[in-house]
RNA sequence: GGUCCGGUAGCUCAGUUGAAUAGAGCAACUGCCUUCUAAGCAGUAGGUCACAGGUUUGAAUCCUGUCCGGAUCACCA
């Protein structure tokens, strides 16, 4: 049949149906009215459930251009589309300025058959572009907390989303392993630890070091209070406190490479890295390359000289070097202190160059909190002015802080939500729910443990990724993260349900299905068809929440289908085969989408 | 003070390249487990989209102003 081969050719083009309609409509307008309509000007929406149809062309802008009534225009375009695309459209109706098109079941079924068994459905072909994603960026003086979790999940997910869209991806991490904050925990350990180690105390290394960072804070506070009581002004008291002087001296000694300080620094950092590794493995963060600030903090100094030669920077009388960004609406920014040492941003310039030399990426994405928006605006501008290669590709993926109902988390007030503790808590809740439901009593201890991790971390990751990264979010430790509704476990549960059916019978490609689709079946196919576009959107917007919302909607739609329509006891064998294919494709898209969020999906739960 | 971001249901959030009666989840209430997993499904209730103007056939979405919240403007990182 002509119609069948036409539909097959459309499906094999692998263009999304929306874009297909867009280009078909543009051609129709050209042919009918000699109107050359830019395709982007055409608004194609999914038809609202209360109207008949699948997709809707919004006619208002055309009405104006073509000076026709909405009804006439809708009828003419609709008739033409039906005539020109045999078998694709079956009906049309025009209500007010909306032309509603119904797409044939034959198309949808053909689409399903062509894709249900494709494990890489939706993934983009390699595009030859390389993107670097820097994320996590921990300080080595304390353990990871809730804010780091948002960063890690976001960075990992965005990197994987880029990969799924055909990019070559390099994940990097910069460890902030030097500076006064590191010295603080070192000094406190020297003073109070009596040689305590992770081994001797059984405390995870990053937590042990973090404890001494906190100890430094309490000790400093005590000393400052004493000094203030003696009449020292508060601002001076902090600098004059003996413990702070020790930290300052230690920083000087570190920079001088004093052997015993270096040995202590290396030992304590190794404890922290061992702790981080454990956490990273658990939450699934990985890096292709880790940079250490201790290696890179002197980089970029050459650029100060070059910048002066190029006239990008200027020097003040005291010898400090600046860049004037007032023309760009920003301020003057210092790039080198009067004593000749580099500041934070100068190191970053050096790191930009180093990364570029090593990886030659087209895009370089920094996953960093929105408190550094200004910093990255300045960094990019400076790199562009200095003419560093690919500096146009520098992008700041800025995300909002995670806050408590009472405001920001504060180390000093002990309100920081620890990453390991939170993960433990989530896993414990998952275990409790699972035991109560008692559906996996035959699981071995190992299998149960793995399931609890999958569910607990799934709930946590979904919770942090389902929100637009740009927005700051509120976490209430009093209320535990949900396992029902718009959550990771809901989606995981749906996947397990589908798998339970597919264990009874696999979907087969052999069946030649010609039956018509029920609304619940069609809703699912429509959503499945949209996955590739959504994956692209998530990449363009660097926004995993797009995927989280999609995967939830898909699961929700499947569950409606599941409760209403039986797969194994379908009306006919043909229907059963169709529904098995729907199940298989839904499970596979759910798994793919969740994987890009870093969330595993269980076979049973 | 300058710049940037945000304000949508009791709570947490979608929707912001303008489009049909603004959507989910949680919490509340009503039903549904002798049929493929009830971590589910179906339904009820809940809104001056911060406020005031403007542009438009059409505004939560664009423009202007105001109010509220946050970030930032360091010789800190």
Tens of pLDDT, residue by residue over A94-125, are 998 999 999 999 999 999 999 999 999 999 99
Span CA (A72) to C1' (B36), Å: 49
The DSSP annotation for A194-210 comes to TT--HHHH---HHHHHH
| DSSP assignment letter at A99 | E
User: CA–CA separation, A528 vs A141, rounded Å?
Assistant: 46
Q: What is the distance between the alpha carbons of residues A275 and A271, in angstroms, rounded to a whole number?
A: 6
In the beta sheet, which residues pair with residue A58? A43, A98
Residues 409-468 of A with CB under 7 A from strand B: 430, 433-434, 437, 439, 455, 466-468
Mean pLDDT of A558-569: 96
Q: Which nucleotide is nearest to A436 (CA to C1')?
A: B39
Average pLDDT, stretch A143-170? Answer: 97
% of chain A with per-residue pLDDT over 90: 79
- For A434-458, letters b (16+ CB in 10 Å) and e give beeeeeeeeeeeeeeeebbbbbbbb
Of A24-33, A399-408, A480-489, the one with minimum mean pLDDT is A399-408
Q: Which two tokens stand for residue A394?
A: 């520098």
> Which chain A residues 77-96 have CB under 7 A to strand B?
95-96
Q: Using the CB atoms, write b or e for A260-282: b if 16+ within 10 Å.
A: ebeebbeebbebbbebbeebbee
The beta-strand segments (E) located in A312-381 are 313-315, 321-324, 332-336, 363-369
Burial class, A514, CB count within 10 angstroms (exposed 0-12 / middle 13-18 / buried 19+):
exposed
CA of A372 to C1' of B72 (A): 8
CA-to-C1' span, A558 to B41 (A): 11
Q: What kind and span of H or E run contains A171?
A: strand A168-175
**C-alpha pair distances (Å), A344 with each of A70, A147, A239, A257, A259:** 61, 21, 21, 20, 25
Contact yes or no for A18/A103 (Cβ under 8 A): no
Residue–nucleotide distance: A392 CA to B24 C1' (Å) = 38
* Å separating the CA of residue A148 from the C1' of nucleotide B27: 30
Distances (CA, A) of A423 to A11, A210, A382: 44, 18, 40
Q: How far apart are CA A402 and CA A383, in angstroms?
A: 30
pLDDT range class, residue A154, cuts 50, 70, 90 = very high
Is the pLDDT assigned to residue A510 strictly greater than 90?
Answer: no
Closest nucleotide relative to residue A344's CA, C1' based: B77
> Does the complex come out with an ipTM higher than 0.90?
yes
Nearest Cα neighbor of A7 from A530, A514, A519, A527 is A514
How many residues in chain A?
A: 605
What pLDDT, in 10s, does the model give residues A300-351?
Answer: 888 999 999 999 999 988 889 999 988 887 888 999 988 888 888 999 999 9
**Whose C1' is closest to the CA of A334: which nucleotide?**
B75
For residue A189, the SS3 value is: helix
Closest nt by CA–C1' to A560: B41
Question: If residue A43 lies in a helix (H) or strand (E), which one and from where to where?
Answer: strand A43-46
**What is the phi-psi region of residue A477: left when phi exceeds 0, alpha when psi lies from -120 to 50, beta otherwise?**
alpha
Distance CA A415 to C1' B25 in A:
27
Per-residue pLDDT at A234: 82
Q: Which of residues 517-536 of A touch strand B (CB under 7 A)?
A: none
Q: C-alpha A534: how far from its chain's center? A: 14
pLDDT tens readout for residues A452-468: 999 999 999 999 999 99
Please tell me the distance from the alpha carbon of residue A291 to that of residue A285, in angstroms, as a whole number.
15
Mean pLDDT of chain A: 93
Q: Which class for A93: exposed (0-12), middle (13-18), buried (19 or more C-beta within 10 A)?
A: middle
CB-to-strand B under 7 Å, chain A 543-582:
545-546, 549, 552, 556, 559-560, 562-569
Contact flag, residue A60 CB and nucleic strand B, below 7 A: yes
Angle at A144 between CA A203 and CA A138, to 5 degrees: 120
The whole-number Å distance from A208's CA to B77's C1' is: 22
Query: Which nucleotide is nearest, taking the CA of residue A48 and each C1'?
Result: B20
- Tell which residue, A295, A278, A290, has the closest CA to residue A171: A290
Name which of A398, A463, A400 is nearest A135 in CA terms: A398
**Residue listed under structure tokens 């960093």:** A368
d(CA A310, C1' B27) / Å: 63
Maximum Cα–Cα distance for chain A, whole Å? 97
Q: Which of residues 181-210 of A touch strand B (CB under 7 A)?
A: none
CA–C1' span, A398 to B27, in Å? 32
The spacing between the Cα labelled CA in A349 and the C1' in B32, in angstroms, equals 63
Distance A405 CA to B68 C1' (A): 17
CA distance A204 to A142: 11
Half-sphere exposure of A209 (CA within 13 A, CB side): 28
Q: Which nucleotide's C1' atom has the smallest distance to the CA of A451?
A: B39
A183 close to A247: Cβ distance less than 8 angstroms: yes
CA-CA-CA-CA dihedral for A87, A88, A90, A91, to nearest 10: -150
Examine the pLDDT at A581 and tell me if it is beyond 60: yes
| Across all strands, nucleotide nearest A483 (CA–C1') | B39
Q: How far apart are CA A171 and CA A236, in angstroms?
A: 43
Residue A205, Cβ density class (10 Å: 0-12 exposed, 13-18 middle, ≥19 buried): buried
Which residues, 6 or more positions from A233, have their beta carbon under 8 angstroms from its beta carbon?
none
**pLDDT score recorded for residue A2:** 64
Q: Is the pLDDT of residue A412 over 80?
A: no
Nucleotide in closest CA–C1' contact with A568: B36
Shortest-distance nucleotide from A403 CA to C1' = B70
| Cα–Cα distance measured from residue A281 to residue A221, given in angstroms and rounded to the nearest whole number | 36
Distance of alpha carbon A315 from alpha carbon A308, whole angstroms: 8
Reference A113, options A562, A575, A498, A513; nearest CA is A513
Cα–Cα dist A40/A56, whole Å:
15
Angle (CA) A490-A496-A500 rounded to 5° is 145
Phi, psi of A490 (to 5 degrees): -60, -45
Which nucleotide is at minimal CA–C1' distance from A329?
Answer: B3
Segment A178-194 mean pLDDT: 95
Q: Which nucleotides of strand B come closer than 7 angstroms to any CB of the protein?
A: 2-6, 12-17, 19-21, 24-27, 35-42, 57-58, 70-77
Alpha-carbon distances, residue A463 vs A104, A156, A456 (angstroms): 38, 15, 11
Mean pLDDT of A568-588: 95
Which residues of chain A between 206 and 265 are close to nucleic strand B, CB under 7 A?
none
pLDDT of residue A1 exceeding 60, the answer is: no
Which nucleotide lies closest to A346 by the C1' atom and the CA atom? B77
Return d(Cα A347, Cα A335) in angstroms, integer.
Answer: 9
Strand B lies under 7 A from the Cβ of residue A61 = yes
Helix (H, G, I), strand (E, B) or coil at A332: strand
B44 C1' to A49 CA distance, Å: 20
Task: Scan residues 463-492 of chain A and list those with Cβ within 7 Å of strand B.
Answer: 466-468, 470-474, 482-487, 489-490
The C-alpha atoms of residue A168 and residue A128 are separated, in whole angstroms, by 7
- Mean pLDDT over A466-495 rounds to 92
pLDDT mean over A201-222: 95
Rounded distance between C-alpha atoms, residue A491 and residue A601, angstroms: 8
């Amino acid at each position: 049949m002509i119609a069948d081969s036409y539909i097959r050719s459309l499906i094999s083009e692998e263009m999304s149906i929306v874009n297909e309609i867009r280009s078909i409509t543009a051609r129709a307008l050209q042919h009918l009215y000699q109107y050359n309509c830019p395709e982007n000007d055409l608004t194609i929406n999914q038809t609202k459930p209360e109207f008949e149809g699948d997709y809707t062309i919004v006619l208002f802008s055309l009405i104006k251009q073509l000076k026709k009534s909405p009804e006439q225009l809708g009828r003419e375009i609709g008739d033409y589309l039906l005539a020109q695309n045999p078998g694709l459209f079956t009906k049309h109706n025009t209500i007010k300025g909306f032309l509603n098109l119904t797409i044939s079941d034959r198309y949808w079924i053909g689409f399903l058959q062509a894709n249900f068994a494709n494990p890489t459905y939706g993934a983009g072909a390699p595009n030859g572009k390389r993107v670097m994603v820097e994320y996590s960026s921990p300080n080595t003086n304390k353990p990871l907390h809730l804010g780091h979790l948002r960063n890690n999940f976001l960075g990992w997910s965005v990197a994987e989303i880029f990969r799924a869209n055909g990019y070559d991806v390099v994940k990097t991490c910069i460890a902030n392993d030097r500076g006064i904050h590191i010295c603080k925990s070192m000094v406190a350990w020297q003073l109070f630890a009596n040689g305590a180690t992770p081994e001797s105390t059984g405390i995870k290394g990053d937590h042990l070091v973090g404890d001494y960072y906190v100890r430094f804070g309490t000790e400093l506070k005590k000393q400052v209070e004493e000094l203030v009581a003696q009449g020292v002004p508060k601002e001076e008291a902090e600098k004059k406190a003996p413990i702070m002087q020790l930290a300052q001296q230690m920083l000087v000694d570190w920079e001088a490479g004093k052997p015993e300080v270096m040995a202590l620094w290396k030992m304590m950092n190794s404890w922290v890295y061992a702790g981080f590794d454990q956490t990273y493995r658990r939450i699934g963060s990985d890096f292709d390359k880790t940079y250490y600030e201790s290696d890179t903090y002197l980089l970029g100094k050459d650029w100060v000289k070059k910048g002066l030669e190029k006239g990008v920077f200027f020097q003040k009388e005291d010898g400090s070097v600046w860049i004037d960004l007032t023309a760009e609406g920003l301020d003057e920014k210092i790039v080198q202190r009067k004593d000749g040492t580099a500041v934070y941003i100068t190191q970053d310039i050096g790191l930009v160059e180093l990364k570029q030399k090593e990886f030659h990426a087209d895009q370089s994405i920094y996953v960093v909190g929105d408190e550094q928006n200004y910093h990255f605006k300045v960094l990019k501008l400076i790199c562009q002015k200095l003419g560093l290669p690919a500096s146009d590709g520098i992008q700041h993926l800025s995300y909002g802080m995670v806050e408590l109902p009472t405001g920001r988390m504060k180390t000093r007030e002990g309100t920081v939500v620890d990453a390991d503790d939170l993960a433990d808590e989530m896993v414990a809740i998952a275990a409790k729910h699972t035991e109560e439901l008692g559906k996996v009593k035959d699981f071995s201890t190992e299998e149960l443990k793995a399931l609890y991790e999958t569910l607990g971390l799934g709930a946590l990751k979904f919770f942090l990724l389902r929100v637009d990264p740009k927005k700051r979010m509120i976490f209430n430790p009093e209320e535990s993260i949900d396992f029902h509704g718009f959550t990771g476990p809901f989606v995981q549960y749906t996947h397990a349900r589908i798998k339970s059916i597919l264990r009874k019978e696999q979907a087969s490609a052999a069946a030649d299905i010609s039956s018509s689709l029920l609304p619940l079946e069609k809703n699912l196919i429509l959503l499945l068809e949209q996955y590739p576009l959504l994956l692209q959107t998530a990449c363009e917007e660097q926004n995993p929440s797009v995927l989280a919302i999609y995967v939830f909607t898909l699961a929700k739609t499947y569950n409606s289908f599941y409760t209403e329509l039986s797969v194994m006891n379908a009306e006919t064998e043909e229907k059963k085969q169709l529904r098995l294919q729907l199940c298989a494709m839904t499970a596979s898209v759910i798994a793919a989408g969740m994987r890009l969020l870093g969330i595993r999906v269980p076979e049973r739960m």
